Amino acid sequence: MNTMMSHASATQVPFDAAWKSVLEAATIEVFGMMANVSLLPYAHPDEKPRGEKTAMVGLAGALCGMTTLVCSSVTAGKFASGMLGEDAASDPSAVGDALGELCNMVAGNFKAKVNSLADHCVLSVPTVISGADYELQIMEPSGGCVVALACDGAPIWVALVIHP
């Protein structure tokens, strides 16, 4: 077993309600730095996440679960343009790559901010789903949180879903 995996297989860390503010801070930092956009709290935070683009990054080790990011295609295109240049919004592959990388960086930034996770949790390769007509079915979560933010008024949801 390599060193990284032995660190990742540490004792499970229970969900902490304070992580919601950590996830929000991590998301705002990453999007500001990487996509050159400012995110603000969304006016309707209790709305069910919806959109045509969903990115997911799995977490394993001291924390098992996933980080998800959901937004509209137009908003995802705006993020891609901010990261890769104006033409990126019209390239579906570039939009997916950008959204997946943003989700990956949010997950990484989040775990780096939580001392008990930083060196004891590994991330999967990002997965991106295009389309709105699907239902994500996951095993019953044991905890988690959802952060609702907005970019120029358009909603973006970032969630941390913890599995037992």
Residue 1 has pLDDT above 70, yes or no: no
pLDDT of residue 6: 46
pLDDT of residue 2: 46
Residues whose CB falls within 8 Å of the CB of residue 3, separated by 6 or more in sequence, listed in order: none
Does some domain include residue 66? yes
Domain with 103, as residue range(s), is 16-162
In the structure encoding, which two tokens stand for residue 135, read together? 């239902």
Structural domain count of the chain: 1
Does some domain include residue 10? no
Residues 103-159: tens digit of each pLDDT: 999 999 999 999 999 999 999 999 999 998 887 776 665 789 999 999 999 999 999
H or E, element range at 22: helix 19-34
Residues 61-96: tens digit of each pLDDT: 999 999 999 999 999 999 999 999 999 999 999 999
Does some domain include residue 5? no
Residue 5's pLDDT band (boundaries 50, 70, 90)?
Answer: very low
Identify whether the C-beta of residue 95 lies closer than 8 Å to the C-beta of residue 77: yes
Residue 8's pLDDT band (boundaries 50, 70, 90)?
Answer: very low
- pTM, entire model: 0.91
CA distance 37 to 4: 33
The CATH number that applies at residue 153 is: 3.40.1550.10
Does some domain include residue 9? no
Residues 14-62: tens digit of each pLDDT: 999 999 999 999 999 999 999 999 999 999 999 999 999 999 999 999 9
